[in-house]
């Protein structure tokens, strides 16, 4: 993409109501624009990152055997009356009346809809287990939307729903999501710690939040410090038949709880050096709630003995749009965002220090075309802005690599390559720099 | 994907309220499920097709120089008051009041939001032309939703918006979309005819609908018959600087109009053999409306002479979710859907005629793994349903190729390959069939 044809409205200063760094940087980097309180338009740069995060989530869900579908944003109030949640949900539910006076709502979550889909089609234990997920916009009418996409009203969520014949199967489904979450957050460069959590309006008796530690986090969290650096298991597991319980136990054996579930005595029983008391951002939340929805909504299957039994369910959320904020909180410096390569909007930025200079332009075009041909995503700043402004923009938007082409270097046959994360710069021939950038993303 | 783990709830019969064949087939093939009047959940098979159509639209927009962003579904009523459309839009607008009594709406289109984004950032003619598009769920509260996804209330639309300094630039932007539309519909196997159209609530004085002829179409249309078979120009054009006017003129020189714009006298002036009077499905609609939004909303740029001028705009819609219905109307037979390869949910279906037979299972596994390794998308029916039921499902869901593995053939060292579109079957060794299927999609 050429900057001259792109739409990248960077700002010199963030609006004063942006309180946390991720919100400030997303506004300044031209990633989002607020259209109403807690409602954002995703500008081209922001959308690219959102899509990459969404794709990582999708791949890890698919790997764990979940099946993607897409539920509508608008739901029937009557379906929520069946589960008993319509009146319970309170002011956060955006309630709507259509032209025929039917009561609708903008889905804040989709347990009812997915249970309705399930009960219409699946009748036998032979079709279990099933895990159905979707990545769809949700709306929660927060009383006080804040922190940009971290606590917006319209937000993108991945929500998966598992269906099993019995508690043992439900536990396995829960474990699959637990482990998939460890992997998917790790792929985004995040250290997300699973913590015992309150179940709130979703319900059930087993629940974990996945928490990224950050000073700007909204909740106080408490955990054993070893959990933070524990590596993710990685993809090479038997997701269908394997026993994932040991991987889960390895983590749940160590103390970790959100404020609501915090047990001061248990925490204080840890050696002082192992105690980590911090603030955190919730990026995922998983629930096992048995028959809370299947029973009132009559989602039953025929068991092996011919009896009808209500299906055992769980639900598994990832805050896809919120993750952009969490990643930026975890990865930025004074100059701006530092994207992990897996979610960067472009792999490489090309800075032409003297647009219009024939030699610089030619070198940049060569680089741009070679990198694109090698499958790299490239933003080529071909505008006539000054070099200093171009550098500032590149640092702000946080692409992993910057390729800098200036007249002095070109005269000597060299260009500069800068690694955004470390700030390291190297000077080398264009050919060798391109060779490195096209060989692998981590070169 | 293995059928045993998939979620493909096919129906023997379509509900009686499904009046047209595309609606019936989408329900029977387990692609969609109605959750409320005009509101559908996209089941896994339907979502796969939706995603492919969306991706074709995206690629053709990108090729034509449009930049993707994503606007929220929920919009501020006040923004629509600025353009004067809030009161005009009528009952089709889903109006919403939030917990703080602010007036919102579920966007039926996004001229106001995109104009707001534009005016906040773009100040100079030097940043023009721009074309910003998004693919997002819209809501129109149809009085009588019907025909499944063809006239739903919640629907997926690609909407692009062009911004130019003057009428000449606006015309070029219009032409770019006009030609891009010819290509994108052709890539889906559709013959879409551009016709002079009424502008309705969007406004402006230049507008074309892209119409797929179908007996079940909702509107009467009239055109020169040569337009139907006129081939699309294809992608190899100079989208930035090229003159696309001749390609547009080649089509607009021939009579074509929707009912609202029909000129009986002009139509009857055609030789009788050239007159085509038919019914059609609107799959795209493009508009050029000058300063209708930019003037009241004060979206101005500084021109070369230093003066502020309101920007010239156009908007360009494609009914992404509706396209599934249009494609099925155009491509089906008694057995079910016949997907064009470009949008098929899977490339190949494997039918194991005797699941559990060691030789059949082994051959199917070999085929499944080889095709996946070659990048083919495969649905392997590994259930214990009878062969006849498996054939019926494969025909119903319309995958381009069926690979049939039975015990008799395997004993003789052969399998069968069936082409869904022509119904042709060939018997050959598994190796040669796989060789053909992995070499190219059109083999």
Site from B10, B41, B61 to mutate, A interface, most A CB atoms within 10 angstroms? B41
Residue of B nearest to A128 (CA): B5
Q: How far is B349 from chain A (nearest CA, A)?
A: 18
Q: Is B384 on the interface with A (CB under 8 A)?
A: no
State residue B201's pLDDT score: 74
- Picking from B300, B335, B370, the residue at the C-terminal end of a domain is B335
Rounded to the nearest 10°, the torsion over CA A236, A240, A242, A246 is 80
Is there a domain that residue B172 lies in? yes
Residues B433 and B373 in one domain: yes
A238 lies in the same domain as A329? yes
Domain co-membership, B82 together with B221: yes
Instruction: State how far the alpha carbon of A173 is from the alpha carbons of A128, A186, A239, A245, A373, in Å.
Output: 11, 20, 10, 11, 42
Residue A15 Rama label (left phi>0; alpha psi -120 to 50; beta): beta
Task: For residue B407, give how far its alpha carbon lies from the nearest alpha carbon of chain A (Å).
Answer: 25
Note the pLDDT of residue B239. Answer: 96
The tally of domains found in chain A comes to 2
Closest C-alpha to A134, from A165, A111, A163, A106 = A111
Q: Which domain holds residue B379?
A: 345-437
Mutual orientation of helices A167-187 and A245-252 as an angle, nearest 10°? 70
Domain end, chosen from B275, B300, B335, is at B335
Q: State whether A247 and A373 are in the same domain.
A: no
With respect to residue B340, please indicate whether it lies within any of the assigned structural domains.
Answer: no
pLDDT in tens, chain B (443 residues): 999 999 999 999 988 889 999 999 999 999 999 999 999 999 999 999 999 999 999 999 999 999 999 999 999 999 999 999 999 899 999 999 999 999 999 999 999 999 999 999 999 999 999 999 999 999 999 999 999 999 999 999 999 999 999 999 999 999 999 999 999 999 999 999 999 988 777 777 789 999 999 988 988 999 999 999 999 999 999 999 999 999 999 999 999 999 999 999 999 999 999 999 999 999 999 999 999 999 999 999 999 999 999 999 999 999 999 999 999 999 999 999 999 999 999 999 999 999 999 999 999 999 999 999 999 999 999 999 999 999 999 999 999 999 999 999 999 999 999 999 999 999 999 999 999 998 865 43
B224 and B307 inside one domain: yes
Q: Check which CATH number belongs to the domain holding B25 and give it.
A: 3.30.930.10
In a domain, A56, yes or no: yes
The pLDDT of residue A434: 95
Q: Do A41 and B91 touch (CB under 8 A)?
A: no
Residues of chain B contacting residue A113, judged by C-beta atoms under 8 Å apart = 35, 41
> Does A40 touch chain B if contact means CB atoms closer than 8 Å?
yes
Do both A304 and A365 map to the same domain? no
Q: Which of B318, B410, B309 is nearest to B358 (CA)?
A: B410
Spatial CB neighbours of B54, under 8 Å, sequence gap ≥ 6: B135, B156, B158, B320
Same domain, B367 and B287: no
At A60, list the tokens. 């890890």
Which of A294, A314, A335 terminates a domain? The answer is: A335
- A25 and A129, same domain (yes or no): yes
CATH assignment of the domain containing B422: 3.40.50.800
Contact of B139 with B94, CB cutoff 8 Å = yes
**DSSP conformation class of A132:** E
pLDDT for B440 equals 63
Q: Which residue of A has its CA nearest to B49?
A: A69
Residue among A26, A381, A285, A98 at smallest CA distance from B38: A98
pLDDT digits 0-9 by tens, A192-231:
999 998 877 777 778 999 999 998 898 899 999 999 999 9
Judge if A172 and A261 occupy the same domain: yes
**pLDDT > 70: what percent of chain A?**
99
Alpha-helical segments (H) within A257-386? 264-268, 320-330, 358-373
Gyration radius of chain A's alpha carbons:
24
**Strand A312-319 and strand B332-333: pairing?**
unpaired
Q: Which of residues 81 through 100 in chain A touch B, CB cutoff 8 A?
A: 91-92, 94, 96, 98-99
Is A381 within 8 Å of A393 (Cβ atoms)? Answer: yes
User: What average pLDDT does chain A have?
Assistant: 95
Residue B442, in any domain of the structure:
no
**Same domain? A310 vs A418:** no
Which tens digits make up the pLDDT trace of A314-362? Answer: 999 999 999 999 999 999 999 999 999 999 999 999 999 999 999 999 9
Both A373 and A412 in a single domain?
yes
Task: Give residue for tokens 């069926």.
Answer: B402
Categorize the per-residue pLDDT at A56 as very low, low, confident or very high, splitting at 50, 70 and 90: very high
* Chain A contact set for B9 (CB, 8 A): 120-122
Residue B441's pLDDT is 55
> Most B CBs within 10 Å: which of A1, A96, A114, A154, as the mutation test of the B interface?
A96
- Tell whether B422 and B326 lie within a shared domain: no
Helices (H), B262-386: 264-268, 320-330, 358-373
E strand or H helix that includes residue A186:
helix A167-187
B 107-136 → A contacts, CB under 8 A: 113, 116-117, 120-122, 130, 132
Determine contact: B73 vs chain A, CB below 8 A. yes
Closest residue by Cα to residue B220 from B176, B267, B178: B267
The answer to whether position B120 is within a domain reads yes
pTM of the model as a whole: 0.97
C-alpha distance across the termini of chain A, in Å: 22
- The answer to whether residue A442 sits within a structural domain is no
Which of B235, B232, B174, B161 minimizes the C-alpha distance to B208? B174
The structure tokens 């609202």 sit at: B260
Evaluate whether residue A443 is within a structural domain: no
Q: Which residue of A has its CA nearest to B79?
A: A35
- Distance between CA atoms of B163 and B124, rounded to whole angstroms? 11
């Amino acid at each position: 993409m050429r900057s001259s044809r792109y739409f990248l409205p960077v700002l010199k200063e963030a609006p004063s109501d942006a309180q946390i760094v991720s919100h400030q940087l997303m506004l300044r980097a031209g990633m989002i624009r607020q259209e109403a309180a807690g409602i954002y338009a995703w500008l081209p740069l922001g959308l690219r990152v959102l899509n990459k995060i969404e794709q990582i989530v999708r791949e890890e869900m698919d790997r764990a055997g979940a099946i993607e579908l897409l539920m509508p944003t608008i739901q029937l109030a009557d379906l929520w009356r069946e589960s008993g949640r319509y009146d319970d949900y309170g002011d956060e539910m955006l309630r709507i009346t259509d032209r025929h006076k039917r009561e609708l709502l903008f889905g804040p979550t989709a347990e009812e809809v997915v249970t309705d889909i399930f009960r219409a089609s699946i009748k036998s234990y032979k079709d279990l287990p099933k895990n159905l997920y979707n990545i769809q916009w949700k709306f929660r009418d927060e009383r006080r939307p804040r922190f940009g996409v971290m606590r917006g009203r319209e937000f993108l969520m991945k929500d998966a729903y598992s269906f099993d014949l019995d508690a043992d199967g439900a536990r396995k489904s829960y474990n699959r999501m637990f482990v998939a979450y460890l992997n998917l957050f790790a792929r985004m460069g995040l250290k997300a710690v699973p913590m015992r959590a309150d179940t709130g309006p979703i319900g059930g008796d087993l629940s974990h939040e996945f928490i990224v530690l950050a000073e700007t986090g909204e909740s106080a969290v408490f955990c054993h410090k070893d959990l933070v650096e524990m590596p993710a298991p990685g993809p090479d597991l038997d997701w269908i038949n394997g026993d994932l319980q040991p991987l889960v136990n390895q983590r749940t054996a160590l103390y970790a709880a959100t404020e609501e579930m915090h047990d001061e005595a248990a925490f204080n029983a840890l050696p002082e050096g192992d105690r980590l008391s911090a603030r955190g951002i919730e990026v995922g939340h998983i629930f096992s709630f048995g028959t809370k929805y299947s029973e009132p909504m009559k989602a039953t299957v025929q068991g092996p003995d011919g009896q009808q039994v209500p299906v055992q369910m769980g639900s598994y959320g990832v805050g896809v749009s919120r993750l952009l904020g969490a990643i930026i909180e975890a990865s930025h410096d004074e100059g701006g965002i530092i994207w992990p390569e897996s979610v960067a909007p472009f792999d490489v930025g090309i800075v032409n220090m003297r647009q219009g200079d024939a030699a610089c332009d030619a070198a940049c075009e060569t680089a741009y075309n070679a990198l694109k041909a090698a499958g790299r995503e490239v933003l080529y700043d071909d505008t006539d802005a000054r070099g200093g402004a171009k550098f500032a923009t590149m640092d702000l938007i946080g692409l992993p690599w910057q390729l800098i082409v200036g007249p002095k270097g070109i005269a000597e046959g060299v260009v500069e390559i800068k690694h955004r994360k470390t700030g390291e710069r190297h000077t080398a021939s264009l050919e060798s720099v391109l060779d490195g950038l096209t060989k692998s993303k981590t070169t």
